[in-house]
């Protein structure tokens, strides 16, 4: 993981989301190409490092690192078995709310 300028609670949330993505059975679509969770985390971590100085909250992390391609402008999508695809941003925000409810 990276050492960045966020509070400990925010870093715990970000670490949880990274583990959530890495361990998912869902497919992560980026610019029309499907990736497994581990591949998705590799890409998210690269963007996380790049946008390090801009990230002040877990929501910032999601926005900058896991929402859409800066090159194409296309949103990343999550494809889970027997479910309608969802934007990765929405998927991660739902998981963040679930995590916060369990830890407050």
pLDDT one-digit tens code per residue, 37-76: 999 999 999 999 999 999 999 999 999 999 999 889 999 9
Domain residue ranges in the chain: 8-102
Q: Tell me, letter by letter, the H, E, C secondary structure of the chain.
A: CCCCCCCHHHHHHHHHHHHHHHCCCCEEEECCEEECHHHHHHHHHHHHHHCHHHCCCHHHHHHHHCCECCCCCCECEEECCCCCCEEHHHHHHHHHHHHHHHCC
Average pLDDT over the chain, rounded to an integer:
92
pLDDT category at 82 given cuts 50, 70, 90 is confident
Question: pTM for the complete prediction?
Answer: 0.90
């Amino acid at each position: 993981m990276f050492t960045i300028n966020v509070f400990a609670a925010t870093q715990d949330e970000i670490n949880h989301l990274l583990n959530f993505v890495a361990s998912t059975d869902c497919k992560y679509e980026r610019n029309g190409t499907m990736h497994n969770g581990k591949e998705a985390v590799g890409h998210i971590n690269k963007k996380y490092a790049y946008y390090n100085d801009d990230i002040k909250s877990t929501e910032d992390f999601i926005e900058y690192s896991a929402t859409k391609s800066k090159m194409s402008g296309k949103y990343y999508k999550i494809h889970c078995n027997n479910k309608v695809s969802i934007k990765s941003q929405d998927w991660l925000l739902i998981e963040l709310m679930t995590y916060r409810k369990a830890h407050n």
